[in-house]
């Protein structure tokens, strides 16, 4: 599916800063517009309309995502949805997709190089892409690498105590999500996907605004990410189909955007109307195409996969 880049209502996500622009009509009457941050909303509208399994490969834009080896404010995203399946099926898609790309590249290479290794090599490390990949829940990695009981960490007061004991700075306005990420980034992320891809699943619900919660434990959501050599490549949900819950979460996100001084906009009422007529049960994932190129071209910086990275234009 080709989805629009120029949009009127970005999906309300407080952690994403948008690019703002203006549409002028013939009388130069102004309408606020934005550059798409992901093809999610148009694809879900098409799912409601009955398009079935679908995908989009498109440019997406996220402002302020600079000064980083794995972000460019303009990037390419592949997003796909499957109807009537849980997110565990998308995990298999990811395994198949990466194996397919790797096998294809090996075929084109082997003709000219008899000694080529069959492993994927990224930044000096050999990676075994064969199925099944390693699967860990967030709770498991917290115990394994941070020596933290996630059960206890889910309680904000306990999390503050654990973080303070570990030497992190906990201030009045420090949020639970910040503590979670700081432990994750400092103690866990670099261990993921070493020698073999890691699928990290069952995220805390508060970190999965558009995902369904797990029926047996509503504190965690059906969301997964996959990592290779510490590089995060994709983010998947069992999609939230409840329009009331979606509208509530958009409201909360917009409040958070206002509070943090980000660019404000109205949420997409048309999307809520679409959800009211029924989004089929489905799972979807977004994978960063530039990061896939980084992986298979063996580059440490996303800028090296782009002919005109934004930072070089400034």
Partner 1 sequence: MMTDMTFVNPGKGSAFVRTKLKSLTSGKVIEFTFKSGESATELDVITREMQFLYKEGDAYVFMDNTSFEQYNIRETLLSDFVKYLRSNDTYQVLVLHDEAVGVRFPKKVWLKVTESSEGIKGNSSAGATKTVETETGAIVTVPLFIKEGDTIGIDPETGSYLERG
**Contact (Cβ atoms closer than 8 angstroms) between residue 227 and residue 198:** yes
178 binds partner 1 (CB under 8 A): yes
Q: 89 to 148, contacts with partner 1 by CB under 8 A?
A: 109, 112-113, 115-116
174 binds partner 1 (CB under 8 A): yes
- For the chain, the C-alpha Rg in angstroms (whole number) is 20
Per CB under 8 A, the list member of 29, 107, 169, 259 interacting with partner 1 is 169
Shortest Å distance, C-beta 120 to partner 1: 12
Give the span between the Cα atoms of 103 and 97, in whole angstroms.
Answer: 10
Shortest Å distance, C-beta 204 to partner 1: 9
Shortest Å distance, C-beta 58 to partner 1: 19
Residue closer to partner 1 by CB (options 36, 205) is: 205
Task: Tell me the window of 68-76, 78-86, 87-95, 305-313 that interacts with partner 1 (CB under 8 A).
Answer: 68-76
Distance spanning both ends of the chain, measured CA to CA: 32
**Biggest CA pair distance of the chain:** 66
Task: Tell me the window of 83-91, 148-156, 174-182, 268-276 that interacts with partner 1 (CB under 8 A).
Answer: 174-182
Task: Tell me the window of 24-32, 45-53, 152-160, 175-183 that interacts with partner 1 (CB under 8 A).
Answer: 175-183
- If 0-12 CB within 10 Å is exposed, 13-18 middle and 19+ buried, where does residue 239 land? buried
| Cα–Cα distance list, 62 to 16, 57, 76, 123, 171 (Å) | 6, 16, 11, 27, 28
Shortest Å distance, C-beta 166 to partner 1: 12
15 binds partner 1 (CB under 8 A): yes
For partner 1, how many residues bind (rule: CB under 8 A)? 33
68 binds partner 1 (CB under 8 A): yes
Residue closer to partner 1 by CB (options 32, 71) is: 71
Residue closer to partner 1 by CB (options 50, 167) is: 167
Shortest Å distance, C-beta 70 to partner 1: 8
Find, among 50, 5, 22, the residue nearest to 265 by Cα.
22
Q: 237 to 266, contacts with partner 1 by CB under 8 A?
A: 260
| Strand 30-35 to 20-24 pairing | antiparallel
Find the helix or strand (DSSP H, E) in which 312 lies: helix 310-313
**Contact (Cβ atoms closer than 8 angstroms) between residue 103 and residue 131:** no
Task: Tell me the window of 76-84, 184-192, 276-284, 304-312 that interacts with partner 1 (CB under 8 A).
Answer: 184-192
**Residue 28: partners with Cβ closer than 8 Å, 6 or more residues away:** none
Find, among 4, 12, 14, the residue nearest to 64 by Cα.
14
Per CB under 8 A, the list member of 8, 9, 65, 219 interacting with partner 1 is 65
277 binds partner 1 (CB under 8 A): no
| Cα–Cα distance list, 186 to 4, 95, 152, 204 (Å) | 37, 27, 19, 18
Could you give phi then psi for residue 19, rounded to 5 degrees?
Answer: -95, 130
Give residues in contact with partner 1 (CB under 8 A).
15, 64-69, 71, 109, 112-113, 115-116, 169, 174-175, 177-178, 180-182, 184-186, 190, 203, 207-209, 225, 232, 235, 260
């Amino acid at each position: 599916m080709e989805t629009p880049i120029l949009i009127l209502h970005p999906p309300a996500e407080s952690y994403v800063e948008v690019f703002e622009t203006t549409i002028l009509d013939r009388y130069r009457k102004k309408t606020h517009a934005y550059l798409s941050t992901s093809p999610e909303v148009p694809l879900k509208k098409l799912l409601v309309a009955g398009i079935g399994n679908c995908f989009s490969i498109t440019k997406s834009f996220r402002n302020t995502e600079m000064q980083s080896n794995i972000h460019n404010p303009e990037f390419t995203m592949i997003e796909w949805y499957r109807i009537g399946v849980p997110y565990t099926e998308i995990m298999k898609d990811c395994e198949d997709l990466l194996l397919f790309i790797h096998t294809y590249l090996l075929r084109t290479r082997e003709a000219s190089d008899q000694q080529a290794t069959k492993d994927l090599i990224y930044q000096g490390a050999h990676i075994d892409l064969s199925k099944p990949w390693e699967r860990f829940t967030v709770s498991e990695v917290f115990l394994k690498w941070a020596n933290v009981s996630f059960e206890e960490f889910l309680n904000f007061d306990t999390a503050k105590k654990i973080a303070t004991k570990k030497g992190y700075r906990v201030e009045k306005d420090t949020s639970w999500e910040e503590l979670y990420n700081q432990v994750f980034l400092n103690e866990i992320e670099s261990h993921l996907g070493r020698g073999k891809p890691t699928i990290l699943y069952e995220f805390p619900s508060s970190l999965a605004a558009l995902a369904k919660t797990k029926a047996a434990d509503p504190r965690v959501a059906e969301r997964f990410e996959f990592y290779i050599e510490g590089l995060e490549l994709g983010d998947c949900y069992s999609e939230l189909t409840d329009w009331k819950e979606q509208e509530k979460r958009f409201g909360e996100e917009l409040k958070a955007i206002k509070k943090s001084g980000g660019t404000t906009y109205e949420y997409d009422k048309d999307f809520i109307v679409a959800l009211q007529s029924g989004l089929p049960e489905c799972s979807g994932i977004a994978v960063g195409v530039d990061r896939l190129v980084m992986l298979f071209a063996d580059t440490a910086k996303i800028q090296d996969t782009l002919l005109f990275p934004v930072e070089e234009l400034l």
